[in-house]
Structure 1
């Protein structure tokens, strides 16, 4: 896939080039963590960028692998951080897309065992999906705990209350070959302050894959299913008219490549330009799919492009 200017690969662009690129795109897809905000702090200029894109008639959507909160909580967070234009319909999280997959694609009949947080459960329940209730006695083990009789799917996501018993139960349910094995995402880890990291959903999924001898179907990025969710709710989405903006090469850039989007790496998150260059120069062609078309230091770089566009509009009036 070539970029909008006929080239691909780690091209740092600014002002006029950004403006030209945005003029060629109808849908702008943003990752959140590392692109729009860091925790409870918005990236400088991000709120103004989002507002300007919406004001200029762009379809702005947010695609995040963070499965820890339902979409309504995301709306509150956006508003809290100054993003007053964002609505529920623009947010596609891996937990929301997992709920759609279970409800609309596989049409699950029975209960879902959730190895994840309360936010995941809420998203599933809002979609009308029944989740197994956790009601074990203190000190219960896999030898004597109750197992639900009608579990039709196991869904793994971020679980900061993971126990060995949960892992053992999920492994038991997956002994049934008709029980679906799903993961919200396969992110291996997430950065924390002070150089620490938080194990991601992918690390939990890997543990269950080993214990069950099965491979999970991943719903979130880089799977195409998240784009299918967007296409089902926005009419006329053309991949050629989409720009994916993210901070992780192995997740966001690969997602864009899988879906046929142009991609942009912002350097405010996990991946850096040196890594992208290594993938670009690699002899392994699979690595080339992780290379962004464009690179910006921050999405705040869009602001100068909007200023130029607004100046031109004023001059033409």
Structure 2
């Protein structure tokens, strides 16, 4: 298995071939442009340089807790002008998918208020809860999880107020073989600082998947359905001419590999160089890596003199 190479350690002609090898960029946001602690220095300059080089950028995130409008506003504050339609997150992707299959009916949803708002504004009927503590008794539990509502789909994404009661209720709805199961973000760990991770939404979704025995439709990274929708929407006929940029091996790199994209890991977020070097699974090893996306600024500067010769 060939090990990934740093984009600034390529030979001059290799750098030119790399830049010429992709026409479009899909990129993560958290860990690439922002972290919980700070903004990644010069990341906006890198994406502006990519777009100026004729490489349109689409921001593909697993974060539906933050609204699109809020994300666009945060981008503007760091000097990156982005249109709403350039941002894809699981809630939007779910709406796109539900419309594609002409879904109608009631949805039981375990997700953040922002996620629910996207679906409600798209016209879908939602059911959630319980959103309060219940008494520790089996009779009270039964009263909250056994329900005859005609739920036709269960959705699970990030819910900071997730309870076992919600999972039990979702599991019972999924006893109906006609009830669909959708998952959004599947991150098993979420980086908080350079040395602290917290449990992500993935393990909770896995509980529901395992208990129900159902195959979910995954509408976050690394979901195949997400990749197919992106390629269809942007009319991608040659996946190998798409560059996927991200900071997580299991979400971003695996997603890119699954879709046939080229992959670039940045070390500014959830993966260290030591973790990258220790990875042996081919589906998780990127084609290239960089300290941060800001390395594109230097890369284009190095190519500029020859480009104008």
Output the TM-score relative to the length of structure 2: 0.88
Match of 2:99 among 90, 103, 128: 103
- Report Cα offsets for 1:162-207 as digits up to 9, x if no partner: 1232122112211111111111032112011384433212121122
Question: CA RMSD for the aligned pairs?
Answer: 2.4
Corresponding position: 1:30 with 2:24: no
Greater CA drift, 201-210 or 211-220: 211-220
Separation in structure 1 between the aligned mates of residue 4 and residue 248 of structure 2, nearest angstrom: 13
Name 1:45's counterpart in structure 2.
42
Partner SS, residue 186 of structure 2: coil
Map residues 157-168 of structure 1 onto 2, 5 A cutoff: 157-168=157-168
Name 1:89's counterpart in structure 2.
85
Change in 2 beyond 3 A, CA 1:142/1:172: farther
Corresponding position: 1:205 with 2:199: no
Q: Structure 1 unaligned runs (5+)? A: 1-6, 281-286
Q: Structure 2 unaligned runs (5+)? A: none
- Per the TM alignment, residue 242 of structure 1 is displaced from its structure 2 partner at its CA by 0.6
Name 1:284's counterpart in structure 2.
none
Name 1:227's counterpart in structure 2.
227
Corresponding position: 1:297 with 2:291: yes
Match of 2:118 among 103, 120, 123: 123
- Report Cα offsets for 1:49-88 as digits up to 9, x if no partner: 111111222111111112213323322222233312x111
Greater CA drift, 12-21 or 251-260: 12-21
Separation in structure 1 between the aligned mates of residue 222 and residue 209 of structure 2, nearest angstrom: 19
Change in 2 beyond 3 A, CA 1:292/1:194: closer
Partner SS, residue 41 of structure 1: coil
Change in 2 beyond 3 A, CA 1:195/1:236: closer
Partner SS, residue 109 of structure 2: strand
Match of 1:66 among 63, 73, 78: 63
Query: When the two structures are aligned, how many residues end up with a matched partner?
Result: 301
Corresponding position: 1:12 with 2:6: yes
Q: Is the 8 A contact 2:220 2:226 kept in 1?
A: yes
Output the TM-score relative to the length of structure 1: 0.86
Change in 2 beyond 3 A, CA 1:55/1:148: farther
- Per the TM alignment, residue 236 of structure 1 is displaced from its structure 2 partner at its CA by 4.2
Runs of 4+ in 1 over 6 A off after TM superposition: 135-138
- Report Cα offsets for 1:204-248 as digits up to 9, x if no partner: 112223443434332211122222222233234521211111111
- Per the TM alignment, residue 100 of structure 1 is displaced from its structure 2 partner at its CA by 1.6
Separation in structure 2 between the aligned mates of residue 237 and residue 72 of structure 1, nearest angstrom: 30
